[in-house]
Chains A and B, each alone.
Chain A
Amino acid sequence: MADARKIGEGPGRLLVSLYGLFTVAAGSRSLYQLIAQFHEAPLAYILSAVAAVVYAFILVTLVRGGESARRLALVCCGAELAGVLIVGTLTIVMPSDFPDQTVWSYYGMGYLFIPLVLPVTGMLWLRTGRADRERGSRRGARAGGSPCPEGQGPGPAA
């Protein structure tokens, strides 16, 4: 079914790749930190782990596709954006609680601000998915030889 998988294709596949990258990056970072140096900055490392879980969850919903997955992904992108904004602000307001960096420190500055851009792009992309459905334009129908050529519609010439 073309519609069910659409959120993970086209531009969505680029998002899947980036979420995959950040799942691996945040996940391996937090694993290493939690094992090797947990006592140094427990709050920062737990937040890194939370970020990794959020990235992994969005990755799974994007790959699975479908309407409910799209809604879940939208909520998680919102949570992700909130996380970046809250952690980013906290690292500036009270840096003493964050002796070490997390993925979301300083709004993701150490990661070229991609953690800040990613949820916004994600939400924009997931919203286009819904807009397409409301208009009833199905890519699958168009790709499989359209039964309704352009001339048949009530065009401006009619």
Chain B
Amino acid sequence: MITWLTVAVSAASLLLAAWCGYATARDQSTKDWHFIGMAVVSVLALAQLVVGIVELTQGRKPVGGTVMFVAYLAGALLAVPAAGFMSLMERTRWGSAIVTAGGLVLAVLEVRLFDIWGGGHG
């Protein structure tokens, strides 16, 4: 379950990064549709956090340690909303660049989460 969510969040975050990267290249700030995209990615990350904690309560032990696992889950949930908040303050192409960076960071966090969980054995 969590592996599928990890794949889904990674794909969604890379799509978001590409979309906002395109806006950056076209010298545009983030628009309503971008924020809807960020919301979708954030909902997926929230689902991942909930499912991750449920699996922990069922006695599953992440290879990289429970504290690290929860910290990365929380970081994954916060990455895109934080970038979205910064892009609200920066209504230029650089606001879009910030969300692009946020999406890439989330994708990296997902790879690390996959490793910490124990790579594919979940």
Residues of chain A touching chain B, judged by Cβ–Cβ distance below 8 Å, are 9-11, 13-14, 16-18, 20-21, 24, 28, 32, 36, 112
Contact = CB atoms under 8 A, between A and B. Distances in A.
Contacts of A28: 71
B71 A13 contact: no
B86 A16 contact: yes
A14 B68 contact: no
From DSSP, what is the main secondary structure of chain B's interface residues? helix
A112 B90 contact: no
From DSSP, what is the main secondary structure of chain A's interface residues? helix
Nearest to A11: B94
Q: How large is the interface on B (under 10, 10 to 19, 20 to 34, 35 or more residues)?
A: 10 to 19
9 contacts: A10-B92, A10-B94, A13-B90, A13-B94, A13-B95, A17-B82, A17-B101, A18-B101, A21-B101
Interface of B: 67-68, 71, 75, 82-83, 86, 89-90, 92, 94-95, 97-98, 101-102, 105, 108
Contacts of B94: 10-11, 13-14
Given A10-B92, A14-B97, A16-B86, 17 more contacts: A9-B90, A13-B86, A13-B89, A13-B90, A13-B95, A13-B98, A14-B94, A14-B98, A14-B101, A17-B82, A17-B101, A17-B102, A18-B101, A32-B67, A32-B68, A32-B71, A36-B67
A145 B92 CA distance: 19
A63 B90 CA distance: 13
B70 to A, nearest CB: 11
Contacts of B67: 32, 36
Top 7 A-B residue pairs of the complex, sorted by shortest distance between their CB atoms: A13-B90, A17-B98, A17-B86, A14-B97, A14-B94, A14-B98, A10-B94
